[in-house]
Amino acid sequence: MNQPLSLGKIIPELLKEFGLDKKALNYDVITHWSELVGEKIAAVTRAEKLEKGVLSVKVLNSVWRYELTLHSKTILQKIASEYRPGIVTEIRWKL
């Protein structure tokens, strides 16, 4: 009799088979935004969508937008280390 497979192994394979693995990964980046950037930044931002490597993030005001633009490279590195390099290549900070 075969050993049962865990859902943790089956789900990623099914997502890949149906071509949904990239969408699931994009969704994961958006839903884990606050953990990626921390409470302070999460309080003034909201990740909205990730398409073709471009992450769109809504920002509270122009002061925060300027500040976060200066920290984009660090945030991109954090995302790459948590997921994989290249999943997010650019962050667009919008008001």
pLDDT digits (tens, 9 = 90+) for 20-78: 778 888 999 999 999 999 999 999 999 999 999 999 999 999 999 999 999 999 999 99
Q: What is the pLDDT of residue 49?
A: 97
Q: What angle do CA 13, 91, 46 make, to 5 degrees?
A: 80
pLDDT score of 2 more than 90:
no
pLDDT score of 5 more than 90:
no
Hey, which residues does 47 pair with through a beta bridge?
A: 57
- Cβ-contact 17, 11 below 8 angstroms: no
- CATH topology for 7-94 is GMP Synthetase; Chain A, domain 3 (3.30.300)
pTM of the model: 0.84
Q: What is the pLDDT of residue 62?
A: 97
pLDDT score of 84 more than 80:
yes
pLDDT score of 1 more than 70:
no
